[in-house]
Amino acid sequence: MSSNDTPITLTARHAGSCPDCGGHFDAGDLITRTNHFELWRHASCPLTKFDFDPGDVCPDCFTVRATTGACSC
């Protein structure tokens, strides 16, 4: 592995945008890049309202269960 392939993680000195999630990061947030040729991104992208636990999907009707546990079945 060359030095260009070494992952780098550090604290952002300036604000920017993450190419993975499209969200923004602020100065002071933890950011990373896999090598010197990639853009900086969140070290861990924040969850959005569209993210869900795969365990919340009903195995019968394949819908995401409501917070009450109800699904389309």
| Full pLDDT tens readout for the chain, 73 residues | 455 678 899 999 999 999 998 899 999 999 999 888 899 999 998 877 677 777 788 888 888 888 787 888 8
* Structural domain total, the chain: 1
pTM: 0.60
pLDDT of residue 12: 96
Please tell me the distance from the alpha carbon of residue 33 to that of residue 68, in angstroms, as a whole number.
39
**With contact defined as beta carbons under 8 Å apart, do 26 and 40 qualify?**
no
Beta-strand ranges (E) seen in 1-73 are: 8-11, 16-17, 24-25, 30-33, 41-42
Buried b (16+ CB within 10 A) or exposed e, 29-61: bebebeeeeeebbbbeeeeeeeeeeeeeeeeee
Question: Residue 40 belongs to what domain range?
Answer: 3-45
Q: Is residue 31 part of a domain?
A: yes
Q: Is residue 10 part of a domain?
A: yes
